[in-house]
Amino acid sequence: MKKIIILLLFAGVSLFFTSCLKKYLDKAPEQGLTEEQIYTKLDNFKAFFDAVYAGTKYVGTAWDDFNIKTAFPLYFGLWDQKYTFESVTDASDQGRYMEGQAWKSGNMSETIVNKMTYDGNRRPILESMFTIIRISNIALRKVNKIDDADDAAKNDLRGQAYFIRAYGHFTLMNLWGPMPYLDRALGPNDVWDIARLSKHECLTRIAQDFDSSYYFFNLAGKVRRDPPLGVAGHLQYGPTGYQMHRPNGMAASGFKSRALLYRASPLNTEGGTDWQEAADASWQALKVALDNGVILLPMVDRSKNYYGADVTDESIWTFSYGNLTWNNGNLTGVTNCGFASLFNGIFGASTGSYSGVCPTQNFVDKYETSFGEPLNTQADRDASAAAGHYNDQNPYANRDSRLATDIITNQSPCQNWASNKAQIYYSISGGKVTYSELLQQNYLGVTRTGYYMRKFWFNNSTKNQVSSNGFADPLMRLAELYLNYAEAANEAYGPNTPAPGATLSAVQAINAVRTRAGMPNVSAAFTGGTDAFRPRIKNERNIELSWEGHYYFDIRRWMDLQTIMSSTLVGMDIEKLAAGYDAIAFPTGFRHTRKPLSQDRQVAWKPQMYYLPFNNADNLKMTKFVPNPVW
C-alpha cells in the first residue's frame, strides 16, 4: 500500500525551483487516491508522510532516494568516490583525483551541480528537500482529517512535519542560500515565482518552525522517543522499537539552537540581539537534553556515536544504517552508494577505485598537545617544542586523544595489518624507493597526505573482514550542544559569564567537552576576552565534530572561507631511516617532513564559493528569484 500511495502522489514529480514550485511542489494535484483514503486513516497517512524518510523515485532502471537522507552528512559521503563535505575543503584530500578536487579548486561544473540537484544516482539534495517540504506542508494541512488517531499521534505528526519542513529549508539555505519560505501548499492558480528572503529572515523562519516542532513534540510526549536509561526499551532504535530515526523534541530544540547560531554568525547576522538569542536557545537545548538523560559518553565509548551501535546515550538524533560489512557498497539498491568515498582502495581491496578521506596536515595540526597547547602555526609548534611538549620528529606523541580516534597516523594501531600498526612510509636503499603496506603506489586511492581517516572506519578492511554492529550518522549529539552554547555565550557575554538563566559559562561548556577527551581546561591565556577565546572555540568544534558534516558550513558562516581556501594544503612525508640513524634527532626511526600537496590538489578561493550554483537551465527560468553566481 505504501509504494502505491507514494507512486500515485509523486507521479509526474519534476525538477528545481520553477519546476518545483510550478509543477510538483504545490501545483501537482494528488492523483489516484481520494482524500478519504489517504488522509483519514492513520496508516495511510503515515505511508504518505514517511516518504520524507524513505521516499524513492524511479530513475532509469532503479528506485533512487529522494528523501531527507540525501542531506545527511555521512550519507552524502556514502556514494561513488566523488565527495564528502570535508574533501571539498582544506580538511582532507581524496586518494584518487576526483571531482572533489575540482570543486575545492573553484571549478563547479554543471555536471557536479546536477549530481547535487536532480541526479537520483547521486545525491539529489535540492529536489529531495523541496519534496520533503511539500509533503510536510500537505501533512500539516491534512493531519486533522485523521479519524483513527488520538491527539498524541496527531501532535507527533505535526512535530515531525514542522521539523522536516525546517530541516529542508535549512539544508537549502546552507548549500544554496536563502529561499522563499514555503509554509503552505500552493494551488494551481497561485503565484509560484517568489523572491528569496534575506539570509537573516530565512533563518528566523527556520528557527520558528523548529520551535513549533518542539511545542508539538512536547504535547505528544516525544521530547525523547525511547525510555530513559534504566528503563526497558532504552535505546531500542528500530521500527519494532521506538522508531528513533524520527526526530524528537530534543532534536527540534537543538536544531533551533543551530539555526539561531548560524543566524548570528558573520555571514548571516543583522546585528541586534542575534548572539543573545542564540545563546539562550543553545542553553535551553542543552538543558532539555540533559534533563532527558543525554550524557557525554566516556572517551572509550565515543566511537559508538559512529559505529558499533545504532544509537547512544550521547545522541540527540541519529540515523542508523544498520549492520554493514567491511566492503558494503549498496545501501539503497544502486551501485554507487557505499564506502568508496570514505575509505581508500587499500582498505577496500581495490587498486582502481575508492578515493577515500585523507586528512591534511593542516587539519592534523588542529589537534593540540595533551598539555593543551595549540599547534596551528609554526610559532605555536615552536613554543610547545621549547616547553618540551612537542617534537616535530615525534609528532603524534603527547597529543589530544581524539587524534588517535579520528585519524590513522604512521605506526598507529591498525588491526590485522603489519604488526597491527599502520605502515605509511617509504624507505630508500641503494637509490631504490620501497613503499610500505599502506603506501603502495599501485592503488589509485592511496593517501597523498600521509594520513587516513579513522573516525568512521570501525577497523573493517580487506585484512579484517567483519561486520559492524552498526554504522551511524550522528545528526546531532550532546557535544555539539555544549559547543553551540559556548560559541554563542562567548559572543554575547564573554568567555566567563554565563548567559542569563544558565549555569555554565562559555569556558565551562568547552571544558566539559575537553574533559571527556582527557584534555586539560583551556589555558587562561585564551580565556581573557571574546576575541582571544573565539579561535579556541572554532578549533574545538573542528576536532570534536570532525568528519560529521559541520566544518564545510562552519567555515562559511564564520566567513573564514577566503583565508582557508587561499591556504596551501600540506601533507606529511615519512621516510623510514636506515640503521645507524641519529636516534636523538629522529627518536622514532622516521624522518617527518611537511610537504605541500601537488598543485592539482590545492584549494582556491572565489567569492562565489559561499553557495552552490544552480544549473544553467534553471538560471534561465528565474525572474524574481535571483540565481547564485556560477563558479
Phi–psi pair at 432, nearest 5 degrees: -100, 135
- Give the pLDDT confidence score for residue 33 in this predicted structure: 61
The model's confidence at residue 298, banded by pLDDT at 50, 70 and 90, is: very high
Residues linked to residue 473 through DSSP beta bridges, in sequence order: 319
Alpha helices for 21-65 (secondary structure H): 35-39, 42-49, 51-54
Instruction: State CA 588 to chain mean position distance.
Output: 35
Nearest of 73, 56, 169 to residue 121 by alpha carbon: 56
For 118, counting Cβ atoms within 10 Å of its Cβ (0-12 exposed, 13-18 middle, 19+ buried), the class is: buried
Pairwise CA distance, residues 475 & 473, whole Å: 6
Are 572 and 93 in contact, with CB atoms under 8 Å apart? no
Read off the pLDDT of each residue in 353-370 and give the average, rounded to a whole number: 96
Would you state the pLDDT for residue 337? 62
- Strand 452-453 to strand 407-408: parallel, antiparallel, or no bridges (unpaired)? antiparallel
In angstroms, rounded to a whole number, what is the distance separating the alpha carbons of residues 345 and 461? 10
Give the integer Cα–Cα distance in Å for 112 and 108. 6
Q: Which of 130, 215, 138, 144 is nearest to 181 (CA)?
A: 130
pLDDT tens profile 555-591: 999 999 999 999 999 999 999 999 999 999 999 999 9
Q: What pLDDT, on a 0 to 100 scale, did the predictor assign at position 470?
A: 83
**Banded pLDDT at 329 (limits 50, 70, 90):** low
- Name residues whose C-beta falls within 8 Å of residue 246's C-beta, 6 or more positions apart in sequence: 53, 160, 225
Q: How confident is the model at residue 17 (pLDDT cuts 50, 70, 90)?
A: very low
Nearest to 550 by CA among 365, 363, 295: 363
The strand pairing partners of 426, in sequence order, are 435, 575
CA 141-147-153 angle, to 5 degrees, is 70
Residue with more model confidence, 88 or 58: 88
- Report the pLDDT value the prediction gives residue 330, as an integer from 0 to 100: 58
Task: Flag whether pLDDT at 84 surpasses 60.
Answer: yes
Neighbours of 588 (CB within 10 A): 18
Distance, in Å, from the CA atom of 166 to the CA atom of 258, rounded to the nearest integer, reads 12
Residue 605 to residue 585: CA distance in whole angstroms:
38
> Looking at 42-133, which runs of residues are DSSP E strands?
56-59, 62-65, 92-94
The confidence score (pLDDT) of residue 603 equals 97
Looking up cell 494551488 gives 187
Give dist(CA 452, CA 363) in Å, integer.
12
pLDDT tens column, 187-207:
677 777 789 999 999 999 999
**Confidence category of residue 30, pLDDT binned at 50, 70, 90:** very low
Residue 16 pLDDT more than 70? no
What integer pLDDT is reported at residue 313 of this predicted model? 98
Query: pLDDT tens, 302-325?
Result: 999 999 999 999 999 999 988 888
Whole-number pLDDT of residue 430:
94
pLDDT attached to residue 538: 98
pLDDT grade for 340, boundaries at 50, 70 and 90: confident
Higher pLDDT, 20 or 76: 76
How much is the pLDDT for 79? 77
Backbone angles phi, psi at 317, to 5 degrees: -155, 125
Q: What is the largest CA-CA distance in the chain?
A: 84
Which of these, 74, 57, 181, 174, lies nearest to 118 by C-alpha position? 57
User: What integer pLDDT is reported at residue 38 of this predicted model?
Assistant: 86
CB atoms near residue 437 (< 10 Å):
16
Measure the CA–CA gap between 289 and 306, rounded to whole angstroms.
Answer: 19
Q: Which of 440, 466, 470, 445 is nearest to 456 (CA)?
A: 470
Cell numbers placing 433: 624507493
Percent of the chain with pLDDT over 90: 81
pLDDT at 369 over 80: yes
Phi first, then psi: give them for residue 316, nearest 5 degrees. -95, -45
Q: What is the mean pLDDT of residues 202-221?
A: 98
State the helix-helix crossing angle for 199-220 and 249-264, rounded to 10 degrees: 160
3-state secondary structure of 357: strand
The CA distance from 511 to 276, in Å, is 21
CA distance 346 to 164: 39
Range in 9-18, 402-411, 461-470, 569-578 with the lowest mean pLDDT: 9-18
Task: Give me the chain's average pLDDT, please.
Answer: 91
**Which H or E element spans position 138?**
helix 125-142
The predicted pLDDT at position 3 comes to 32
User: What are 45-67's pLDDT values in tens digits?
Assistant: 999 999 999 999 988 878 889 99
pLDDT interval class at 624 (50, 70, 90): confident
Q: How far apart are CA 159 and CA 534, in angstroms?
A: 35
pLDDT band at 29 (very low <50, low <70, confident <90, very high): very low
Q: Is 359 helix (H, G, I), strand (E, B) or coil?
A: strand
Q: How confident is the model at residue 13 (pLDDT cuts 50, 70, 90)?
A: very low
**Average pLDDT over every residue of 280-288:** 98
Whole-model pTM? Answer: 0.94
Give 3-state DSSP helix, strand, coil % of the chain, rounded to 5.
40, 10, 50
DSSP secondary structure code for residue 504 in this structure: -
Instruction: Give the pLDDT of residue 429.
Output: 96
Provide CB contacts within 8 A for 602, sequence distance 6+: 105, 568, 569, 596
pLDDT tens sequence across 132-178: 999 999 999 999 999 999 999 999 999 999 999 999 999 999 999 99
554 DSSP assignment? H
Q: What pLDDT was estimated at residue 616?
A: 86
Question: What's the half-sphere exposure (Cβ side, CA atoms, 13 Å) at 356?
Answer: 35
CA proximity to 169, closest of 236, 45, 263: 263
Is the pLDDT confidence value at 528 over 90?
A: yes
What integer is the mean pLDDT of 324-336? 63
Q: Is pLDDT at 447 greater than 80 in this prediction?
A: yes
CA 559 to chain centre: 18
pLDDT tens digits, one per residue of 230-239:
999 999 999 8
Q: Which residue has the cell 523534541?
A: 249
The pLDDT value recorded for residue 468 is 73
Give the chain's end-to-end CA distance (angstroms, integer).
Answer: 44
> What is the model's pLDDT at position 164?
98
User: What are φ and ψ of residue 226, in 5° steps?
Assistant: -100, 165
Range in 20-29, 474-483, 505-514 the model is least confident about: 20-29
pLDDT in tens, 370-427: 999 999 999 999 999 999 999 999 999 999 999 999 999 999 999 999 999 999 999 9
Residue type, 257: S
Cell reading at 429 = 636503499
3-state secondary structure of 111: helix
Question: Which residues are CB-neighbours of 552 under 8 A, at least 6 positions away?
Answer: 85, 86, 88, 89
Over residues 448-467, the mean pLDDT reads 93
Report yes or no: 92 and 359 within 8 Å, Cβ to Cβ: yes
